[in-house]
Amino acid sequence: MKKSRAIVTLLIMLALLGFFSYTAVEGLGTEKAGAASGIKQGLDLAGGVSITYQVVGDEEPSDTDMADTIYKLQKRVEGYSTEAQVYQEGADRINIEIPGVSDANAILEELGKPGSLLFLSKDGEVVLTGSNVADAQAGSQRDDMGNSQYVVKLTLDPEGTVAFAEATKKAAPTKDIIYIIYDGAVVSAPAVQAEITDGVAIITGMGGFEEAEKLATTIRIGGLKLELEELRSNVVGAQLGSEAIQTSLKAGAIGMGIVVLFMILIYWIPGLAASIALCIYTSLIVVLLYAFNITLTLPGIAGIILSIGMAVDANVIVFARIREELATGKTVASSVKIGFQKALSAILDGNITTLIAAAVLGWRGSGSVKGFAQTLALGIVVSMFTALVITRLILNALYGIGFKSEKFYGVGKEKKPISFTKKKAICFAVSILLIVSGFVFMAMNQSSTGQILNYSLEFKGGTSTNVTFNEDLSIEEIEKQVVPVVEGVTGDGDVQTQKVAGTNEIIIKTRTLSVEERETLNNKLNESFGVDKEKITAETISSTISAESKRDAIIAVTIATICMLLYIWFRFKDVRFATSAVLALCHDVLVVLAFYAAAKVSVGTTFIACMLTIVGYSINATIVIFDRIRENLALASRKDDLSVLVDNSITQTLSRSIFTSLTTFFMVAALYALGVTSIREFALPLMVGIACGTYSSVCVTGSLWYVFRTKFAKKKK
């Protein structure tokens, strides 16, 4: 690259950095939060709308019907935000919390009255109710002329299939209309063209996809088993104050500074190039959160900050390759070119494997799992782009302006192989001991508390107490004055608070309180703040993570694991690579789970994000080592000792494993040191997961593959 072109390239990169950084900072953690970038923010950062529905009717609804209704509502409101929460309040109420919106009336108007859908014949007879509709989806199909048209596809349950077959048989000869009535109004009036006996009906005549999607959504929301009516609606404030957000952002800035300094000290000019690219990556992620309309929560900020550390990985792989090429006597220009080429397979395989997992989690997951998958996928794509394109452009530009001596890049040194395979028995024993100890701690927790883990409100539900104070307290005042009083009664640190906008009312969520504890809390609030006891109400609430959501998460993770196994098998042409990688992944999850049990860290929504992050981190680290084993196998002769080859491969990638872990650890450690409680509960297990992932990738996975390779060798023909 010519010097003039190199200077122009650097100026363009710095201009991009300035533009993206300005946009990102203007949109986060300031009084103008969201004004510049328009990023959706979660309940913890910006508050939202809280709507409480009451089941219509005198009979108390069954647990099954309530669970089914909650699950379907959850799927519906995820259209507003993946972080929306739906949970049961009392015996016959359902509460919906939607972050990032402030107009409760608009939400209520769009939702209408859930469970009030009817299909009527021209004689006014009820053909179907909403509960007979199993699903409704917008789509497109070809008409008789071959033209594409938008439609709504209805799938009926067995009872509805029979009833609809009879009704359409009667209506088909004269093409009578069947009216679809929602919330007292006709939303569609399709004419019956033929008898429908298979339980699948197609509604045509849509003006566009938006019209089809709106009708499908209306039918789904009206297809709930229970009819609901609005009891109350509020606009609730952020759960966390601006001080907490500023502290987390400060932690991120400090962690970022440490990573930049570390990269420059270790890798010199390539480290400088990576640092500039890393800053572009960080600001670009924030801008794209707005572009893709992803809801940002405080754990989401933590995830972004964590991804900064993980994004270093691709750069470290490339730089290690460059130093190896320089050690063979090649020129700097040639080493840079070959370094990127040789690192490509490891970077692509590691990131594609994790991207497959993100795609499955986004497809099958719900709630926070879906939100995590969106952020993860975005981070993977952007990190690959910045590492393979931006870093390369900057590095070539720095070379072009005069940094051409190999002293600016460092030369790799021949390393004596460490005998990891000979120590495999010790490593396996340590891993088994850690995993078994986890089950022991779970058993101890079960016997002492009745729960194997310290489940938070999101998993086990609790009590929601609405308190009207005599003055308008700020979030910081609530955290410093009210929360300690509540914790004194509950003896538990898991306390969540929300302000109701425009009032002095505060919603306090705690573990389930007994009648005596509720009375004690009322007395304490009266004594400490002069609160009128008549202005205190309490209801039992269910977990915000429903059984169906847990099931979806388990299914999503299982499918993702299988897909990753198949991809690794396909790419490495050896199922033993895939098996070893998945076993190492399970190892890391179980060890971190053991830590949760031993340290009694709160298990909430961040637990899911933490575990999924560790899965992605673990598989990525393993792929790098397996890629080097695959490369060395292709160059080896049949006489070469396989254990030495494995040890060489692990040793050659050891610096990558250590440096990537350190940079990621720096970011998370800064969060733990300066973050608020919810962030610290996310950061601490992650630090354990990072250490465990490094240990397993270096000490376990290679040895596992070696055992499988030698014990289950392919038979010679």
Q: Which of 532, 504, 457, 502 is nearest to 89 (CA)?
A: 457
Cα–Cα distance for residue pair 197/353, rounded to 1 Å: 43
Cα–Cα distance for residue pair 649/398, rounded to 1 Å: 31
Q: CATH 3.30.70.600 in the chain, residues?
A: 462-541
The pLDDT tens digits for 90-104 are 888 898 888 877 777
Q: CATH 3.30.70.3400 in the chain, residues?
A: 47-105+232-236
Q: What percent of the chain has pLDDT over 90?
A: 42
Ranges 15-19, 498-502, 636-640, 680-684, most confident: 15-19
Identify the pLDDT of residue 31.
Answer: 46
Identify the pLDDT of residue 36.
Answer: 38
Ranges 226-235, 489-498, 582-591, most confident: 582-591
Superfamily holding 421-438+546-711? Multidrug efflux transporter AcrB transmembrane domain (1.20.1640.10)
Superfamily holding 462-541? Ribosomal protein S10 (3.30.70.600)
DSSP per-residue codes, 28-56: SSSTTTTTTT---B-HHHH-EEEEEEEE-
Q: CATH 1.20.1640.10 in the chain, residues?
A: 3-33+241-408, 421-438+546-711
Ranges 62-76, 134-148, 595-609, 681-695, most confident: 681-695
Strands of 536-541's sheet in order across? 228-236, 48-55, 93-99, 85-89, 536-541, 462-468, 505-510, 496-499
Residue 144 pLDDT exceeds 80: no
Tokens found for residue 296: 């940002």
Residue 301 pLDDT exceeds 90: no
Pick the CATH number of 47-105+232-236 from 3.30.420.40, 3.40.50.12240, 3.30.70.3400, 3.40.50.2000: 3.30.70.3400
The pLDDT tens digits for 535-557 are 999 988 888 776 767 777 788 88
Q: What percent of the chain has pLDDT over 70?
A: 92
**Region 51-75 average pLDDT:** 85
Instruction: Give the domain 117-223 fold.
Output: Gyrase A; domain 2 (3.30.1360)
Least confident segment among 108-112, 528-532, 563-567, 568-572: 108-112
Say which residues have a Cβ less than 8 Å from residue 394's Cβ, sequence separation at least 6: 9, 10, 13, 273, 276, 277
Strands of 179-182's sheet in order across? 126-129, 117-120, 179-182, 185-188
Residue 527's pLDDT band (cuts 50, 70, 90):
very high
**Which helix (H) or strand (E) segment is 213 a member of?**
helix 209-221
Tokens found for residue 509: 């969520």
Cα–Cα distance for residue pair 232/464, rounded to 1 Å: 15
Say which residues have a Cβ less than 8 Å from residue 487's Cβ, sequence separation at least 6: 493, 495
Domain 3-33+241-408: CATH architecture, name and number where available? Up-down Bundle (1.20)
Residues composing the chain: 717
Question: Using an 8 Å Cβ cutoff, are 222 and 130 in contact?
Answer: yes
The pLDDT tens digits for 1-51 are 789 999 999 999 999 988 888 777 664 444 444 333 466 666 666 678 888
- DSSP three-state, residue 128: strand
The pLDDT tens digits for 358-395 are 888 778 776 667 777 787 788 888 988 998 999 999 99
Identify the pLDDT of residue 35.
Answer: 31
The bridge status of strand 505-510 relative to strand 462-468 is: antiparallel
Paired with 53 in beta bridges are 94, 230
Q: CATH 3.30.1360.200 in the chain, residues?
A: 117-223
